[in-house]
Structure 1
């Protein structure tokens, strides 16, 4: 991640935007020597928003924690078990 003064960012905006879009670079843009703005891709921004939404949902967060505990305890299902369960559920709704 580079830190760039706003005057330099203005002069290089097309280049910076290309790098952000293609290479997922990040840029901190400063104003009067202080970090003021971040330049990131739309895809990365949307991904971060989705992550924040998920982590702010208490039920989802509890599910994620439980999943990690189950995995650590090897309380998991094989792929064959998952397929069999999906087929069983499909048969119920068909």
Structure 2
């Protein structure tokens, strides 16, 4: 992550935007030598928002904890079992 002054960011905005979108680089932009804003891709921003939403959802967090516990205990399904279950759902939906 680079830190650059806003005057430099203005002069290089097209290049910075390309790097952010293509390479997922981050830039901290300063004003008066103080960190003021971040330049990140929309995809990364949306991903962070989804993560924050998930972390605020107690039911989803409980499901994730249960999944980890099930996995650690070996309570999992084989690929064949998953396929059979999906085929069963497709048959009932048709």
**TM-score, scaled relative to structure 1:** 0.90
Deviations 1:16-39 (A, max 9, x none): 011111111000111111111000
SS of 2:74 mapped into structure 1: coil
Unmatched runs of 5 consecutive residues or more in structure 2: none
1:93 Cα deviation after fit:
3.7
1:47 Cα deviation after fit:
1.2
**TM-score, scaled relative to structure 2:** 0.90
1:45 Cα deviation after fit:
0.8
1:15 Cα deviation after fit:
0.8
Deviations 1:25-62 (A, max 9, x none): 00011111111100001111111111111221111111
1:87 Cα deviation after fit:
2.1
Give the alignment's Cα RMSD to 1 decimal: 1.2
Unmatched runs of 5 consecutive residues or more in structure 1: none
How many residues align structurally?
Answer: 94
1:7 Cα deviation after fit:
1.2
Alpha-carbon distance in structure 2 between the residues aligned to 1:92 and 1:13: 54
Alpha-carbon distance in structure 2 between the residues aligned to 1:91 and 1:8: 60
Alpha-carbon distance in structure 2 between the residues aligned to 1:73 and 1:3: 45
